[in-house]
Amino acid sequence: AQKITQTQPGMFVQEKEAVTLDCTYDTSDPSYGLFWYKQPSSGEMIFLIYQGSYDQQNATEGRYSLNFQKARKSANLVISASQLGDSAMYFCAMREGAGFQKLVFGTGTRLLVSP
Amino acid sequence: SAVISQKPSRDICQRGTSLTIQCQVDSQVTMMFWYRQQPGQSLTLIATANQGSEATYESGFVIDKFPISRPNLTFSTLTVSNMSPEDSSIYLCSVLLGTDYTGELFFGEGSRLTVL
């Protein structure tokens, strides 16, 4: 079974609008971390935001927020006030368990921001 | 945070040759990871490189094809051996800062290999 599922191959959004990128995960471990990374066309992976399974509040980092719904096992990324520079691939990833550092990535969502 | 430098950033290689990718970190880290990203695909972990011990390879990856060195806590190399066009990918080095599941994974800029 897929550990991380991103069902949106591509998303379009107009500049200054908000956009939600979906991510669902599958784990039976109560301890896990969820990550979102941005990959521009240049190829580097840029860390955006992190949510721990025991965190009580949704994570926020500037224009990025994570809509964490634990019961539904979803960790959607919300980008507010989209900018042209947000056009990139976005990957959701998960690390399971205490002391287990392997990060498993979803297939990614390509976001295109139009003027 | 960590600054991770990878060399080369990109290369075009001939079939049957080998290429070594270097990864330098600006701080000492226990765990380093090598990922592969084939064109249009997600990231797949190749191996975990710990200093002073042999790398731990994921299913589908073997040491003869992807030998890894980890001579100290700030440096690692990944060699892609006997390359074929199927090895054309971005290879990314990453390091873990923090502990357990709360640690953040930082990535290098990636090495984009094209095999002809």
pLDDT for B59-108, tens place per residue?
A: 999 999 999 999 999 999 999 999 999 999 999 999 877 655 566 788 89
Looking at residue B29, its pLDDT comes to: 86
User: What does the angle CA A10 – CA A96 – CA A86 come to, to the nearest 5 degrees?
Assistant: 30
Q: How many contacts does A have with B, using Cβ atoms within 8 A?
A: 71
Beta-carbon separation of B102 and A107 below 8 A = no
What is the DSSP track for B61-94? --TTTS-EEEEETTEEEEEE-S--GGG-EEEEEE
> In this complex, do A106 and B42 lie within 8 Å of one another by their Cβ atoms?
yes
Which residues from B are below 8 Å from A101, CB to CB?
31, 33, 48, 96, 100-101, 103
Q: Which residues of B touch A (CB under 8 A)?
A: 31, 33, 41-45, 48, 90, 92, 94, 96, 99-110, 112
CB-based contacts of B3, cutoff 8 Å, min separation 6: B25, B26
A56-77 per-position pLDDT tens digit: 899 999 999 999 999 999 999 9
Beta bridge partners of A26: none
What is the structure's pLDDT at A71? 94
Distance from CA of B100 to the nearest CA of A (A): 4
Q: Give the C-alpha separation, A48 to A46, whole Å.
A: 6
pLDDT over 70 (residue A100): no
Q: Which of A46, A98, A107 sits opposite B42 (nearest CB)?
A: A107
pLDDT of the residue at A112 = 95
Say what percent of chain A tops pLDDT 70: 94
* CB-closest option in B103, B104, B112 to A43: B112
Query: Please, which residues have CB within 8 angstroms of residue A64's CB and are 6 or more apart in sequence?
Result: A36, A48, A49, A77, A78, A79
Calpha distance A21→A47 (Å, rounded): 15
